[in-house]
Structure 1
Amino acid sequence: MSTTERPRILVVGGGYVGLYAARRILKKMRYGEATVTVVDPRSYMTYQPFLPEAAAGSISPRHVVVPLRRVLPKAEVLTGRVTSIDQDRKVARIAPLVGEAYELPFDYLVIALGAVSRTFPIPGLAEQGIGMKGIEEAIGLRNHVLEQLDKADSTNDEDVRRKALTFVFVGGGFAGAETIGEVEDMARDAAKYYKNVSRDDMRFILVDAADKILPEVGPKLGQYGKEHLEGRGVEVYLSTSMESCVGGHVVLKNGLEVDSNTIVWTAGVKPNPALARFGLPLGPRGHVDTEPTLQVKGTDYIWAAGDNAQVPDLIGRKAGNENAWCPPNAQHALRQSRTLGDNVVAGLRGFPQKEYSHANKGAVAGLGLRKGVAMIVVGKVKIKLRGRLAWYMHRTYHGLAMPTWNRKIRIFAEWTLALFLKREVVALGAIHAPRDEFYEAAKPVPVPVAARTEEKAKAS
């Protein structure tokens, strides 16, 4: 960590908003005008819309993440957590990955902590559930699913096979529908290489408490998505929820009970709970309450945006909805980060703030290879697409939204190669415990009791 006499702009969080806001600030600032410091527990940013494709092996996991130090060479990047903020002294307490916590003074503050999985006190969920908020979870899910096929192919126990080949996904929003669509595609491809496992042996279940899936694209496309998944053999249960999953025994509120080794939880997100320790004004759901300028209410030196912020939707309010708020999606996060970066620089120079206003451009979702839904807004017209064309829209939009040309080119190159090469379906489960085999080879060999007694006798 460097010390400087220049004003410090502290960015808490290196996700989509944190990365893009820091880049924008560095681009707009004059040389030596301020120090930009980014603090995050990870040294990379994860592009979350690509996690389902990473889980299915359609994209290499390393191409879904962007190293912060490489993309922000002029910023100070600290790997750790901000545990508290003293607004009176303008000091943040940093807990690094190793070593003692320390205080870091700042002049301007950007809150970009994002969101975490929204969970409920369901028995067994913490022990059995698999989330989909980070690249580690996507890699783990891919390896786990392929390992279940390995298990089912190698046993004659029908109960073990049935439990291994039953996959339960909770949550029918973008994350849930896209993930089950991609994973089902991968499992279908992988089954071709197993003698004792076929797609007919597998059971995919999607559960949602709402009465529809994919609400972001509207009821008609949501219904199409449901029918499409059901046509591929996915069981979709709506208006119900999971009551327990202890030991992998899943019990749904509608009475269905199944045994499963794979329970994927994608039932929404909530603002990072660390916000409660920062002394900021929070909305009813825990978001940081901001003005249309993205300034935190009651302050002129703190800004917030993205999934952890409650940002007024000015377009919706002009249309008559006084309680309109910007939804937590990549579309708003990208544009908010630009406005936020501009406003931080304006605040640094004493210039007026600009309000954030953006009309919804629609939504896109992929449901596996060459399958998707899209709702594009052009003026007051909504264009609804489905199938292959919608899938192309999904890939094009997110491919271009991926930060840095380095990652864009790598992703499009992978997609192009996939047109000619088959999907990789190998499981690398040992990656989660890479030292186990070496430990078994290197650990001391226990000496039998009889041998120790004989050695003692010879010594005496």
Structure 2
Amino acid sequence: MNTVTRPRILVVGAGFAGVACVRRLERILGPREADLTLATPHSYQLYLPLLPQVASGVLTPQSIAVSLRRSRRYRTRILPGTAIGVDLKAKVCVVQKITGDLVYEPYDYIVLAPGSVTRTFDIPGLADNAFGMKTLAEAAYLRDHVITQLDLADASNDPAERAARLQFVVVGGGYAGTETAACLQQLTHEALERYPRLDPTLIKWHLIDVAPKLMPELGEKLGRSAEEILGRRGIEISLGVSIEKAGPTEVTFTDGRVVPTHTLIWTAGVTASPLIATLGAETVRGRLAVTPEMAVPGHDGVFALGDAGAVPDLAKHQEGAICPPTAQHAMRQGKVVADNVIATLRNQPMRPYVHKDLGLVVDLGGTDALARTLGVELRGVPAETVARAYHWAALRTNVAKTRVMTNWTINAVAGADFVRTGFQVNKRLKDFEHTSMYLTPEQVREHVAAQDADSPAR
């Protein structure tokens, strides 16, 4: 017999969208109005925009991992695992816990915000030899790896090995790739005085992208400024170029160049979580088709947003326009989805999501930064001030704000350090993208049906 008397709200994913939704639900809903569950493998929200600063050592990993349990209204049950399938008809979500066990989580309302996974385009050798930059573990490991290359190059007497270890390739000319290349180049530049045996001219950073422009979101002027800043710092930019194949000690570009390197960092785009494919619902560019209220048509109580939902961009007044999967949109969508879930619970009308971008900030390390806010373009120190103020204000807890500000201050005063922690074993992109765990729509139905047969009283 089912003894549940309150509606069950399940939120999948603890990114910007999922956390914003949960926090608003906790604030507005009374404890007896609904039971809240958040399915996520980690009990923290990762502040992704500052991940390049973790990779470069400006920030410690813990400073941008914002605890989900630090909330005055905290009452959400956290289910530590990854949602690998959803049966929309049975209203059951299959979750693989961090122990490997499967949990069949029933719901009355589900908010899908599982984030995204790295898109690799099936390039030979990429998953085995490239590094990603989407998780805290990847950023921390990448920092260790870059410092390891400096150590090995410094100790080597082989000119070919030394040159290969001091070449670094970053693929992806968006925010993640550009900021990662800039911040890590800054790290290797500052390291030179600690490695007197290294020839500075041997350290080479390559930033490549198949697109014709670097960070097109910046616009013509700021985009050109970004290229000038990176070029001045010795980063070689190649546009209209991608990777043909990747090996452990060299990378082949699509223009025929072969670059000897032990460091290939892949940030060339993401795609919606494989969870979306398990629903068997209509998609738009890989994301779930949703209404302006972020509801999935034809399925009561199902909402999708962020990287998972193709949310119509009503602010653009352009047919077919959908909101880009940015943190700025995700945070605001999370609040609107929470309001719409509550409206559905209370038999009130839902409201559509409408939001116009307030601007953008790009931190290129040191005092190099670019910003466009409220139509005003900034460069250098003013842009750096705006960028850090924006990120600092967006951090959800005072503890996170204190840690980040402390790290920034220490780094400004003491400079970078070049310590390898050695906490992680050798890993590449394939070791962080656990896409094989997801079920097909047929497998989801089979699993849920088998569970129902074993537990008829569920």
- 1:344-423 alignment runs, 5 A limit: 344-377=341-374, 382-423=375-416
1:427 is displaced (CA, Å) by 1.4
Does structure 2 retain, via aligned residues, the 8 Å contact 1:364–1:390? yes
Greater relative contact order structure (CA < 8 Å, 6+ sep) = 2
1:241 is displaced (CA, Å) by 1.2
- Percent identical among aligned pairs is 39
Whole-angstrom CA distance in 2 between matches of 1:127 and 1:248: 12
1:99 is displaced (CA, Å) by 5.6
1:220 is displaced (CA, Å) by 1.6
Q: For residues 143-165 of structure 1, what are the alpha-carbon distances to aligned partners after superposition, in whole Å with 9 as ceiling and x for unaligned?
A: 00000000011110111101110
Q: RMSD of the alignment, in Å?
A: 1.6
1:409 is displaced (CA, Å) by 2.0
1:431 matched to which residue of 2?
423
Q: For residues 220-261 of structure 1, what are the alpha-carbon distances to aligned partners after superposition, in whole Å with 9 as ceiling and x for unaligned?
A: 211111111011111111111111112332111222211100
- 1:191-210 alignment runs, 5 A limit: 191-210=192-211
1:9 is displaced (CA, Å) by 0.2
- 1:149-168 alignment runs, 5 A limit: 149-168=150-169
- 1:271-286 alignment runs, 5 A limit: 271-283=272-284, 285-286=285-286
Does structure 2 retain, via aligned residues, the 8 Å contact 1:187–1:199? no
1:26 counterpart SS class: helix
**Structure 2 unaligned blocks of 5 or more:** 427-458
Q: Which moved more, 1:194-203 or 1:152-161?
A: 194-203
Whole-angstrom CA distance in 1 between matches of 2:272 and 2:396: 23
1:263 matched to which residue of 2?
264
1:148 matched to which residue of 2?
149
1:229 matched to which residue of 2?
230
Q: For residues 40-70 of structure 1, what are the alpha-carbon distances to aligned partners after superposition, in whole Å with 9 as ceiling and x for unaligned?
A: 1222221110110110111111111122234
Larger Rg belongs to: 1
Does structure 1 retain, via aligned residues, the 8 Å contact 2:306–2:329? yes
2:246 matched to which residue of 1?
245
Aligned residue type for 1:393 = V
- 1:87-126 alignment runs, 5 A limit: 87-98=88-99, 100-126=101-127
Whole-angstrom CA distance in 2 between matches of 1:96 and 1:70: 22
Does structure 1 retain, via aligned residues, the 8 Å contact 2:88–2:299? no
1:202 is displaced (CA, Å) by 0.3
Does structure 1 retain, via aligned residues, the 8 Å contact 2:168–2:206? yes
1:38 counterpart SS class: strand
1:419 is displaced (CA, Å) by 2.8
1:33 counterpart SS class: coil
**Structure 1 unaligned blocks of 5 or more:** 435-460
Whole-angstrom CA distance in 2 between matches of 1:400 and 1:199: 38
1:314 matched to which residue of 2?
314
1:31 is displaced (CA, Å) by 2.3
Consecutive aligned runs of 4 or more in structure 1 exceeding 4 Å deviation: none
Whole-angstrom CA distance in 2 between matches of 1:115 and 1:322: 25
- Give the length in aligned residue pairs: 423
1:33 matched to which residue of 2?
33
2:81 counterpart SS class: strand
Whole-angstrom CA distance in 2 between matches of 1:31 and 1:324: 38
Q: For residues 368-414 of structure 1, what are the alpha-carbon distances to aligned partners after superposition, in whole Å with 9 as ceiling and x for unaligned?
A: 1111111223xxxx211112211211111111112222212221222
Distance 1:280 1:404, change over 3 A: farther
Whole-angstrom CA distance in 2 between matches of 1:101 and 1:433: 27
1:66 counterpart SS class: strand
Does structure 2 retain, via aligned residues, the 8 Å contact 1:170–1:265? yes
Whole-angstrom CA distance in 1 between matches of 2:100 and 2:307: 30
Whole-angstrom CA distance in 2 between matches of 1:199 and 1:172: 25
The alignment status of 1:182 with 2:183, answered yes or no, reads: yes
1:363 is displaced (CA, Å) by 1.0
Q: Which moved more, 1:84-93 or 1:44-53?
A: 84-93
Whole-angstrom CA distance in 2 between matches of 1:139 and 1:205: 21
Whole-angstrom CA distance in 1 between matches of 2:342 and 2:202: 58
1:262 is displaced (CA, Å) by 0.4
2:259 counterpart SS class: strand
Distance 1:99 1:50, change over 3 A: closer
2:265 counterpart SS class: strand
The alignment status of 1:337 with 2:334, answered yes or no, reads: yes
Does structure 1 retain, via aligned residues, the 8 Å contact 2:26–2:74? no
Does structure 1 retain, via aligned residues, the 8 Å contact 2:20–2:332? no
Does structure 1 retain, via aligned residues, the 8 Å contact 2:70–2:397? no
Distance 1:258 1:290, change over 3 A: same
1:4 is displaced (CA, Å) by 4.5
